[in-house]
Each structure stands twice: as structure tokens, then as C-alpha cells.
Amino acid sequence: MIIVTGGAKGIGEGIAKVLAGEGATVVVVGRNQEDNERVQSAIEAAGGNAFCVEAELSHPEACEKAIKSVIEKFSRIDGLVNNAGVNDGVGLESGNYERFMESIHKNLVHYYLLAHFALPYLKISKGAIVNISSKTAETGQGNTSAYAAANGGRNALTREWAVELLKYGIRVNAVIVAESWTPQYATWIKTLTDPDGKLKEITAKIPLENRMTTPVEIANAVAFLLSEKSSHTTGQLIHVDGGYVHLDRALANA
């Protein structure tokens, strides 16, 4: 049984569906129950097993309640995928203390709390944790201080937990996302003066095939990191990004 936060849309939905297709029972945790149920129904219609829990994870008490709901239903947890979050544009110049801390709660605090509350059950199952993170922690983006800080925290916690949980046989890894086409991304690009032109500009800089990474491609990496096929992989930050972060920019136009 695998928990996927933010599993009702975008990358999280892709992860939930791929994991269910691999035979896992998936629990979709998200703020909008209608969206949660839509994904649950889609998984079940495809022959998979799913359950959903409504939770606003920026509220600490909701994180504990979500884990309790899962345990009441299944009595076990085999894996946790921390994915929920939003690039909310809280910059240094444009932000303030209140907005910065609100963003940290939206994007980082629940990663810690869900892992904390799930840990007693992961110790029993010797399960795995996968944290979804963003290139912004490594490359910067501009005008998104809080989101970049949150993702830096996600990366640091991935390696910290990998060390702390060695004694329990719990593996912890992260998948780092660069440019992936999601509903959230589509909404953002439409706010620009030349959406089509900007999209072409972005994809031209992605070295492998000059295209965005699909949610399914990210989900496939998550499935690998949760599975026994990655049985000796822990503390790793896996970039599934078509070479966007690390390859020479000159390659994009080669």
C-alpha cells in the first residue's frame, strides 16, 4: 500500500496510476475530494486498487489525521511518495514573512510530518520513501525564494532520512523534476504574453528530444525507487529531466 500526496493531478496523478498499474494499492491524498475520487475511479476502472483521503496538508494536524485514516483502512504502509506542492512565486523582493512561511508549509513541512507519522508502519514493512523535488533548489529560477528553499529542504531531508533510517532498512530517495507538462504548468504559461513562443523557447533548451518530461516518465522512476529492483539505492537525487540540469546547454541546439 503506497501513499501518494497530491495524487489527484499532474505528476501525482501520473504516479498514482503507474503504481496502481504495477499492482500497488494506492492511497491518493489531496485537498479536493472530488479530484481524489476521480483518480480513484479511473484506477479502479482500469482494474487497479485505490483509496483516497481528503486532507489540506499545509495544516499540520491534517497530516496526522491522513495517516490515521490510512491505517484504519489498511493497517499498514509500504511506501510514501511526498509530492504535493505548488510553485507559488513568493520571491525575495515580492514576498514577506507571512507568505514565505505559508509557502514552506505548503511545500516542505508536510513532507516531514507525513514521513514522521508514517514511520512506525514503514519500520514494520521496511518500506521506502520517495520525495518529489524540483530543479529550483539547484538552478534557481528567480522570484520563487520560498519554493526554492522548500525544495532545498526536500533534497536535504532525503539524504538525512536515508542516513537515519538505514538501521530500519528503509530506503529514501528523491526524483528531481525540471520541465514537465502538467495542468499547473499549463495554467502558468497561459499567463505570459506569448505562451506558444515561451513554450518553444523552454523545450528548445531540453537536451534530450527537445521536449518536456511526461508525468508518466517521472512516475516510472518513482515505481523503480519504491520497488525491490532498487534494493541497494538510497540517499539519491535522481534527475528525470531529459538532461536539463546537468548537460551542456549547447547540446540543446545540436
Half-sphere exposure of 2 (CA within 13 A, CB side): 32
Q: How far apart are CA 92 and CA 144, in angstroms?
A: 7
User: Rounded to an integer, what is the distance from CA 68 to the centroid of its chain?
Assistant: 21
- Contact partners, residue 68, CB within 8 Å, separation at least 6: 117
The DSSP 8-state label assigned to residue 253 in this structure reads: G
Q: How far apart are CA 254 and CA 250, in angstroms?
A: 7
Half-sphere exposure of 245 (CA within 13 A, CB side): 19
147 labelled catalytic? yes
As beta bridge partners, residue 34 has none
Q: Which of 97, 112, 121, 147 is catalytic?
A: 147
Q: Of the candidates 246, 82, 70, which has an alpha carbon nearest to the alpha carbon of residue 161?
A: 82
Q: How far apart are CA 245 and CA 206, in angstroms?
A: 9
- Contact partners, residue 69, CB within 8 Å, separation at least 6: 53
Copy the grid coordinates of residue 160.
Answer: 538525512
**DSSP H or E run through 164:** helix 145-164
Q: How far apart are CA 224 and CA 185, in angstroms?
A: 25
Instruction: Write out the catalytic residue numbers.
Output: 147
